[in-house]
Amino acid sequence: PSWGHQRLSWGHQGPPLGTSGTLSPALSPVLRRCHLPVSPALSPVQAWVESLRHPEDTLRGLAELHPDVFAVTPRLDVLHAVATWQRNYKRISHARVRTRAEVRGGGRKPWGQKGSGRARHGSIRSPLWRGGGIAHGPRGPTSYFYMLPMRVRVLGLKVALTVKLMQDELHVVDTLEMPSSDPRYLQDLARFRHWGRSVLIVDVNEFPENISAAVEGLKSITLIPALGLNVYSLLKHQTLVLTLDAVAFLEQRLLWHDRRYSPLYPFSMPYRDLPEPPRAG
């Protein structure tokens, strides 16, 4: 598919367009338009297209981002709901304590009902006794599984992307090609561009060797495929770096949910009339 933008390769010629003051008019800018229809009442939001080839290469081009994905109402309650769901739905608590019936012993009445002067008791393992069972303790394993509606999870992703863009923590990169596989280069680049303490890099295709090797040694920079993007990771990392392919992929997948029919049976099962297998956002 034609992406509607141009890619140019350049050798070690130095930074093309950057805030250092040197201009190289030989390179044409990388421009990206929105491929999916935008409502006439809204206009696309924009972001600079940067490059990882040189630390000062931050003004490669201009990318248009769909407003229904990158400029939605900032629903912080949805973000909280989705982040809490992500933490809890996988949780199985194995805490379990014994009740008075499960504690060893305690079948016999310790002393007679009347006459001994002590309080009346029926067993030495009742919850009142030391060493006795627990009355209302955890009775695990307990599952905390629940599912939020698909559209809420999709909206959570859209809100997270919007928040990242509007807080200047989103950066768009044309490709993830790096000149060296040195992790220090990537760290210096992130520090030079004021990216923050943690960076999340997202791409659709397989990652080039240089960046995979560089990120392996680093704890503050993470690579994930676009299918693995989630609200918890977005909130955990300070900066998000998307490639142009990842932007197109996310827009297509997240906007599909706005115009789809409700499923008659779960989308995980095959549909004959839908062109590609749809999956939960």
Residues that bind other proteins (CB under 8 A): 12, 14, 17-23, 29, 31, 33, 43-48, 54-56, 58-59, 61-62, 64, 71, 165-168, 170-172, 179-180, 182, 185, 188-189, 191-192, 194
Phi and psi angles of residue 95, each rounded to the nearest 5 degrees, phi first: -65, 130
Nearest to 31 by CA among 53, 51, 3: 3
Which CB sits closer to other proteins, 166 or 227? Answer: 166
User: CA quadruple 245, 275, 43, 230: dihedral positive or negative?
Assistant: negative
Task: Report the DSSP pairing between strands 92-93 and 221-225.
Answer: unpaired
Residue 64 Cβ, how far from other proteins at the closest point, in Å? 7
Residue 70 Cβ, how far from other proteins at the closest point, in Å? 9
Question: Contact at 8 Å (CB) between 34 and 44?
Answer: yes
What Å distances lie between residue 273 and 92, 111, 270, 276, 278, CA to CA? 38, 76, 9, 9, 11
**DSSP strands (E only) in 94-146:** 142-143
As a whole number of angstroms, the distance between CA 213 and CA 217 comes to 7
Residue 208 Cβ, how far from other proteins at the closest point, in Å? 16
Residue 203 Cβ, how far from other proteins at the closest point, in Å? 19
Which CB sits closer to other proteins, 56 or 203? Answer: 56
Length of the chain: 281
Residue 33 Cβ, how far from other proteins at the closest point, in Å? 8
Give the tokens for residue 188.
């210096």
Which CB sits closer to other proteins, 127 or 179? Answer: 179
Residue 260 Cβ, how far from other proteins at the closest point, in Å? 27
Phi and psi angles of residue 74, each rounded to the nearest 5 degrees, phi first: -75, 90
Which CB sits closer to other proteins, 41 or 269? Answer: 41
Which CB sits closer to other proteins, 62 or 81? Answer: 62
Which CB sits closer to other proteins, 17 or 152? Answer: 17
Residue 267 Cβ, how far from other proteins at the closest point, in Å? 33
As a whole number of angstroms, the distance between CA 239 and CA 228 comes to 16
DSSP 19-40: TTS-B-TTSPPEEE---S---T
As a whole number of angstroms, the distance between CA 125 and CA 117 comes to 20
Which CB sits closer to other proteins, 61 or 281? Answer: 61
